[in-house]
């Protein structure tokens, strides 16, 4: 769900303080770093300013953490290389997560604004990156509205943007968040615990045709129709409210063969639907040209062919100086031309990285550079 921002005014007092008035919860609190003020989420979800690790406030110990127990950052060196961080540059990390990529940028002396829609991620990253307080600010929000958020805090331009899509290992592994079927938990799947729609809502309220569409389109699930039918039959007997129940229904239609659990694609599809992931990506990309300064770069890491196609198509559309159509006598200047492709093809993790971090195996990095008007 898009965060509501509005009614903003600079706060009084020294420094660059701003109020983010209409974030969910409406509470005013200091957004640590860069002298900004933002809003804490209302209770629950591991939010607030405390030094949390994941969702449990008692588990954070900065002396013990490298951040890898939260999430192992993918293509870390490659991202850093592409973004060329240095003192004086300002970056937006639209998917802050455990703060691993942001930390690399901060270490190089750059400033970073970190966004995440999950308050538990923000708490972890704030605690981990506390030593960079002067150069780092973390804000809860959806990257689909990053332009609005930056406007709110008075930012005018960026030297780089990073979107490392999907969920973190911590979100995936916490049964309470309902992203996986490894251990039973509520069928939730919201990255933002304050968002309106859960996976349970979708599974128990959408009609058979819509469920089949979600599984086929977002999960490329071949048995989408049969699974949708089985879900509708099962929910007539009892509400499907746990990950275990849903995995069981899928497994009855598609018995387990090999290593991959038969419900993997269904869970992925539901997660994409619950968090409206594809439309958030499209909305964020459309804002990028306005925010990047000439020479600034956008790096996107995707883990799904649909996401990668959106990024690839967008970069391609914006990197052609001219466009042509059969009915035109000659090519015309492309009004969307604003990027140079830094790499023609997407970059995948090395076999060594995949061996150390199997979750990186489907990652694809694409990068484009803003050209001068």
Ligand X SMILES: C[S@@+](CC[C@H](N)C(=O)[O-])C[C@H]1O[C@@H](n2cnc3c(N)ncnc32)[C@H](O)[C@@H]1O
- Site for ligand X contains 177 (CB under 6 A): no
Cβ count near 369 (within 10 Å): 19
- Binding ligand X (rule: CB under 6 A), the pick from 36, 60, 143, 339 is 143
- Binding ligand X (rule: CB under 6 A), the pick from 121, 139, 240, 246 is 121
Cβ count near 36 (within 10 Å): 23
Instruction: With residue 250 as reference, give the H or E element that holds it.
Output: helix 243-253
Contact indicator for 37, 17 with CB cutoff of 8 Å = yes
- Binding ligand X (rule: CB under 6 A), the pick from 115, 246, 249, 266 is 115
Q: In the structure encoding, which two tokens stand for residue 163, read together?
A: 């979107």
Nearer to ligand X, 64 or 325 (CB): 64
Contact indicator for 120, 14 with CB cutoff of 8 Å = no
- Site for ligand X contains 116 (CB under 6 A): yes
Question: Site mask, ligand X, residues 13-52, x = CB under 6 A?
Answer: ----------------------------------------
- Site for ligand X contains 101 (CB under 6 A): yes
- Binding ligand X (rule: CB under 6 A), the pick from 126, 128, 144, 370 is 144
Closest C-alpha to 53, from 164, 168, 136, 183: 168
Nearer to ligand X, 107 or 252 (CB): 107
In angstroms, what is the minimal distance from the CB of 334 to ligand X? 28
- Site for ligand X contains 280 (CB under 6 A): yes
- Site for ligand X contains 100 (CB under 6 A): yes
Stretch that binds ligand X, among 94-102, 149-157, 176-184, 287-295 (CB under 6 A): 94-102
| Cα–Cα distance for residue pair 11/250, rounded to 1 Å | 53
Strands 364-370 and 292-302, by their bridges, are antiparallel
By CB under 6 A, what part of segment 196-255 binds ligand X?
none
Stretch that binds ligand X, among 80-88, 98-106, 176-184, 201-209 (CB under 6 A): 98-106
E-only strand ranges, 57-146: 90-93, 111-116, 136-140
- Site for ligand X contains 3 (CB under 6 A): no
| Cα–Cα distance for residue pair 114/93, rounded to 1 Å | 5
Distance from the first to the final alpha carbon of the chain: 33
Binding site for ligand X (CB under 6 A): 71, 73, 95, 97-101, 115-118, 121, 142-144, 164, 166-168, 191, 280
């Amino acid at each position: 769900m898009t965060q509501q921002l509005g009614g903003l005014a600079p706060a009084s007092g020294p420094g660059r303080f701003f109020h983010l008035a209409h974030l969910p919860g409406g509470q005013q609190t200091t957004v640590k770093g860069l002298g900004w003020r933002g809003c804490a989420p209302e209770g629950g979800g591991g939010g607030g300013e405390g030094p949390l690790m994941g969702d449990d406030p008692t588990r954070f110990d900065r002396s013990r953490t490298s951040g890898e127990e939260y999430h192992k950052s993918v293509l870390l060196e490659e991202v850093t290389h592409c973004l060329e961080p240095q003192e004086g540059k300002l970056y937006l990390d639209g998917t802050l997560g455990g703060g691993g990529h942001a930390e690399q940028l901060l270490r190089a002396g750059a400033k970073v604004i970190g966004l995440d829609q999950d308050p538990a991620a923000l708490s972890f990253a704030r605690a981990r990156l506390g030593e960079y307080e002067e150069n780092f600010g973390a804000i809860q929000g959806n990257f689909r509205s990053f332009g609005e958020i930056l406007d709110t805090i008075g930012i005018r331009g960026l030297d780089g943007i990073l979107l490392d899509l999907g969920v973190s290992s911590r979100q995936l592994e916490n049964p309470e968040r309902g992203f996986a079927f490894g251990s039973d938990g509520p069928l939730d799947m919201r990255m933002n615990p304050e968002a309106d729609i859960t996976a349970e809502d979708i599974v128990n309220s959408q009609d058979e045709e819509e469920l089949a569409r979600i599984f086929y389109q977002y999960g490329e699930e071949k048995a989408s129709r049969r699974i949708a039918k089985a879900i509708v039959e099962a929910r007539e007997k009892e509400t499907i409210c746990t990950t275990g129940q849903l995995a069981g229904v899928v497994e009855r239609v598609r018995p387990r063969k090999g290593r991959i659990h038969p419900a993997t694609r269904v869970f992925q599809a539901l997660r994409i639907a619950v968090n409206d992931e594809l439309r958030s990506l499209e909305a964020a990309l459309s804002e990028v040209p306005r925010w990047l300064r000439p020479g600034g770069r956008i790096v996107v890491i995707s883990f799904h062919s649909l996401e990668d196609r959106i990024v690839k198509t967008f970069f391609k559309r914006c990197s052609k100086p001219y466009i042509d159509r059969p009915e035109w006598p000659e090519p015309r200047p492309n009004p969307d031309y604003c990027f140079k492709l830094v790499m023609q093809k997407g970059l995948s993790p090395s076999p060594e990285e995949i061996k150390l971090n199997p979750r990186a195996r489907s990652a694809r990095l694409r990068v484009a550079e803003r050209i001068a008007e």
